[in-house]
Amino acid sequence: MEDEKKIPSVMLTGDRPTGKLHIGHYVGSLRERVALQNEGAFDEMYIMIADTQALTDNAGNIQKVRDNVIEVALDYLAAGIDPTKVTLFVQSRVPELFELTCYFMDLVTYSRLVRNPTVKSELAVREFGESIPVGFLTYPISQAADILAFGATVIPAGEDQAPMIEQAAEIAHKFNVTYKEVFPEPKILLPKNAVCRRLPGTDGKLKMSKSVGNCIYLSDDAKTVEKKVMSMFTDPTHLRPEDPGHTEGNPVFQYLEAFGCDEHFQKYDTGFASLTEMEEKYRAGGLGDVAVKKFLAFVLNDTLEPMRIKRRDYESRIADVYAILEEGSRKAEEKARSIALRARRAMGIDYFENKKFIEKQQKAFKRAHEQADAYAAYLAKQGK
Ligand code: TRP
């Protein structure tokens, strides 16, 4: 019956609670999630705070993970995620995810795990040496469970997550051919604009990273944003305003592009009508970094200000935010429970839910008893 229902379109994504979210998270995925939510593009939308995954390399640092659950939740809500439209939940509160992880572990080889490019590059920076936690190595399997437990097909995430989603699709396929068709194969949804896929740090380095200290956080106040922008790395060959400059690979211009600043050109008097015009002038010479940076700080603060106001409101009622997460986790568990049951059915380990199987086994025992009884009667008739 349940199988005959129309398959719902489901979006799922999430973040590890290891720090506040920054503008790279925003243009890379969060902004898109809010847009999809407002378009009503999906039947169901789930956003997960992946605390269990964060623990895979923070077992000795529980406090960091615990304290950042609320920070990430506040960032989501401030950015415009509406908990009446999106199920916001905490990974550790949905036990079915770990049940599915165990079943999936039997479908993945060790060599496939260590070949996962994301795991490989993360191992390289973490310096575990010989002491790699098993949970860390296997987190792609757990992430597959996160996705498949909801029947999700669309995963808005950063480019670094692509190998994870690919492996989740592989696991779905392996399960479906080994047992029965249960899981759709998920696909990543990347930002259309390449610059949004990997926003560089304020120092021009390839990625924003908390440990490097090159991030602008969604929750930074206006002064902090301005300070960070004014000290940003730009074109090192552009020494004086008169010099011709490079816009390509210049993080100040990359941020302007990523934030889509056309409307801001009308709000702020730069003397240019569009980013293209501004870039042309910079390349030709005669436009100083300070002027461009001032505009960028304006654009960022104009975008972040409504989030700061929303965040402050939620910060004044933290219990409500936890109630949102609790209710979301309850709803998420309900959904995951129904899909986990379908998985157990497909595998044939639905012992208590499968009345037909119980009846069949009962019949087999009954037949065996009848045969044994008949044989005993035959022996008795023969006189022992
Ligand atoms: N790996 C993601 C990150 O590092 C977090 C995450 C966990 C996730 N489970 C997921 C993302 C499922 C998308 C889908 O931020």
Q: What is the pLDDT of residue 168?
A: 98
The Cα–Cα gap between 71 and 15 comes to: 11
Residues 6+ apart with CB under 8 A from 35: none
What is the residue-averaged pLDDT of the chain? Answer: 94
Separation in Å, CA 77 to CA 53, 144, 153, 311, 325 = 21, 25, 23, 7, 11
User: For residue 383, is pLDDT > 90?
Assistant: no
User: For residue 66, is pLDDT > 50?
Assistant: yes
Q: Which atom of ligand 1 is nearest to the CA of 50?
A: 7
Q: Which atom of ligand 1 is nearest to the CA of 118?
A: 1
Q: What is the mean pLDDT of residues 211-233?
A: 95
The Cα–Cα gap between 332 and 337 comes to: 8
How many CB atoms neighbour CB 130 within 10 A? Answer: 4
Q: Is 278 in the pocket of ligand 1 (CB under 6 A)?
A: no
How many Å lie between the centroid of ligand 1 and the Cα of residue 210?
A: 17
CA angle 142, 58, 213 (to 5 degrees): 110
Q: What is the mean pLDDT of residues 24-43?
A: 95
Contact 56, 16 (CB under 8 A): no
- To 10 degrees, what angle do helices 222-230 and 289-315 make? 150
Torsion of CA 324, 325, 330, 334, to 10 degrees: 110
Q: What is the pLDDT of residue 304?
A: 97
Q: How is residue 201 written in tokens?
A: 């740090």
Q: How is residue 333 written in tokens?
A: 């568990």
Contact 157, 196 (CB under 8 A): no
Q: What is the pLDDT of residue 1?
A: 46
Q: Is 202 in the pocket of ligand 1 (CB under 6 A)?
A: no
Q: Is 21 in the pocket of ligand 1 (CB under 6 A)?
A: no
Give nearest CA residue, ligand 1 atom 8: 14
User: For residue 217, is pLDDT > 70?
Assistant: yes
Q: Is 275 in the pocket of ligand 1 (CB under 6 A)?
A: no
Q: Is 155 in the pocket of ligand 1 (CB under 6 A)?
A: yes
Strand order in the sheet with 187-189: 87-90, 44-49, 10-15, 154-156, 187-189
Partnered with residue 48 across adjacent β-strands are 14, 89
Q: Is 161 in the pocket of ligand 1 (CB under 6 A)?
A: yes
CA 5 to chain centre: 27
Pairing of strands 187-189, 154-156: parallel
Give nearest CA residue, ligand 1 atom 14: 13
Largest Cα–Cα distance in the chain?
A: 118
Q: How much is the pTM?
A: 0.93
Q: How confident is the model at residue 206 (pLDDT cuts 50, 70, 90)?
A: confident
Instruction: List, for residues 237-295, the tens digit of each pLDDT value.
Output: 988 899 999 999 999 999 999 997 788 998 888 889 999 999 999 999 999 999 999 99
Q: What is the mean pLDDT of residues 183-193?
A: 95
Q: How confident is the model at residue 207 (pLDDT cuts 50, 70, 90)?
A: confident
What percent of the chain clears pLDDT 70, i.e. is strictly above it? 98
Q: What is the pLDDT of residue 360?
A: 95
First to last CA, the chain: 55
How many Å lie between the centroid of ligand 1 and the Cα of residue 147?
A: 9
How many Å lie between the centroid of ligand 1 and the Cα of residue 15?
A: 5
How many CB atoms neighbour CB 231 within 10 A? Answer: 10
Give nearest CA residue, ligand 1 atom 3: 15
Probe target for ligand 1 pocket from 18, 53, 183, with the most ligand atoms within 8 Å of CB: 53
How many Å lie between the centroid of ligand 1 and the Cα of residue 309?
A: 27
Tokens 């415009």 correspond to: 80
Dihedral sign computed on CA atoms, order 357, 1, 170, 25 = negative
Q: What is the mean pLDDT of residues 342-364?
A: 95
Q: How many residues are listed for the chain in this entry?
A: 384
